[in-house]
Chains A and B, each alone.
Chain A
Amino acid sequence: MPAASYAGTEVTVNDEGFFTDPGQWTEAMAPDIASREGITELTDRHWQVIKLMRHEYEAKGTGPTVRALGKTSGVSIKELYELFPKGPAKIAAKIAGIPKPRGCI
């Protein structure tokens, strides 16, 4: 299992860089993960999404899709793409230290 180091702490991630153990994540790691995804500053709007990702994961065992985020986060899909240009659900999940959201089948 590949490892990554965020905020000075080593964590295990999968081949695509998603946390394999969300319990290893701390809020202090988020800016570090974000900057490696090209997001230089985490604003309150970013955090609103990141916290929802954590919450949804803990409640349902998977992070929400971008469409569900658009309906529940209070942030429109358009703005979600401005916040996380490379794909809101995927990148926000990575920054929130949860596995890649399960694709709908």
Chain B
Amino acid sequence: MLGGGTGGTLLANRLRRELDRAAAEIIVVDADDEHVYQPGLLFVPFGLARPETLVRSRRQQLRAGVEFVCSAVEHADLENDTVLLADGTSLAYDVLVVATGARLVPEETEGLLGPGWLEKVFSFYSLDAAVPLRRALSRFDGGRLVVGVMDMPIKCPVAPLEFSFLADWYFRKRGLRDRVELTFVTPLDGAFTKATCNRELSGLLAAKGVSLVTEFNTGEVDGRGGRLVSYDGREVPFDLAVLVPLHGGQAYVDRSPGLGDELGFVPVDQHTLQAKAKPNVFVIGDAADVPASKAGSVAHFEGHTLATNICRYLAGEPLDAGFDGHTNCFIESGFGKALLIDFNYDTEPVTGRFPRRVGLPLLRESRLNHAGKLAFGWLYWHMLLPGRDIPAVPASMPVAGKHMADTARQSPASN
């Protein structure tokens, strides 16, 4: 198992319960022993989460009987069913799971890491950038704050929207809101990738006085001049920019012949999660090229199908095409409220209740959802990572409490 993040950890733990120790050895490989609770990164710049509370040992999240190897991966040799590690040792496998997630590649955007980086240009997608952003925000007493997405795909596509909502709350709380101009810049043709919640979230941006700039493909970040420049020559000026860098797969994927696509993500069958490269390779989480959000909830729901399929593969049985693209995201909207969306490959986020008729309200702001978002931190460490099912939340998308008539499948495209 390459990667000891959300997907790798929860799948290793699930498999360890399901496979007899004599029948299978499970080895998790990661380059470091720091497991970051990524949903918490959003809160760091606003002083709502302390960085040190978000990091725990990767090794300690693994059940007894799962071996942890701390090393970077040099490449995977699919032909010989072997992984070569950076320290020169090699691991032979019967089944390989790619769980190494997505990698931030800010260097692929001209100027992003140039003059102004960590002075006027920040990100909150890593602790390294989120911590200095907290200082910069606390000193910011007026001007143009731009939240920008460089291009899709990104981890947690709602996070930059949440950042905008929280920025509105943060500056109101500090009595500075009328001196701060907030702008949300996206390469998409709307605030979000899904039509129904695009309407809801665009409305929320407008209600909070956040301007929306769409179909903006950033070609250059000019930190010194304080502007984003798009490939088609438009400009968005800023005094402080909070950017979501481009994402790609891990570099070793590019070094592994036949494994990844042009962005370093791994093509899979979107229902069985078996890699297209070879039958004994499976993929969980952000590393896969599936048309679902790159989000922890997706990895959790995928874990269910993958644990089954790896056991079936080892037993020589046909795979279960059970993963439906189920995604579930809380969207923090500020002032102690949040929205909840729940969708899959075929169904747009709709209104109603989750997971049943009595449950959390969908696609609408509520305090209950905010409480859900906070409770999720506990669930993450104590249920998600151990590979447990969350009570009442099935792996396949539930429809019982949903207003399914809202469904109109439309996919906005990137330009």
Contact = CB atoms under 8 A, between A and B. Distances in A.
Interface of A: 64-68, 71-72, 77-78, 80-81, 85-90, 100-105
Contacts of B217: 66, 77, 81
Chain B interface, DSSP helix/strand/loop, else mixed: loop
A81 B231 contact: yes
B69 interface: no
Contacts, number: 67
Interface residues of B, number: 24
Given A77-B219, A100-B413, A105-B293, A85 B152 contact: no
Given A67-B246, A90-B413, A100-B413, A105 B231 contact: no
A71 B263 contact: yes
Interface string B256-299: 00000111000000000000000000000000000111000000
B180 to A, nearest CB: 30
B414 A101 contact: yes
Given A65-B152, A77-B231, A78-B231, A105 B413 contact: no
B231 A89 contact: no
B151 interface: yes
Interface of B: 151-153, 157, 188, 193-194, 215, 217, 219, 231-232, 246, 261-263, 291-293, 411-415
A70 to B, nearest CB: 9
15 contacts: A64-B262, A65-B152, A65-B414, A66-B151, A66-B231, A66-B415, A67-B263, A88-B415, A90-B415, A103-B412, A103-B414, A104-B152, A104-B414, A105-B153, A105-B194
B193 A104 contact: yes
B262 A66 contact: no
A78 B262 contact: no
Contact of A105 (B215, B246, B263, B292): B292
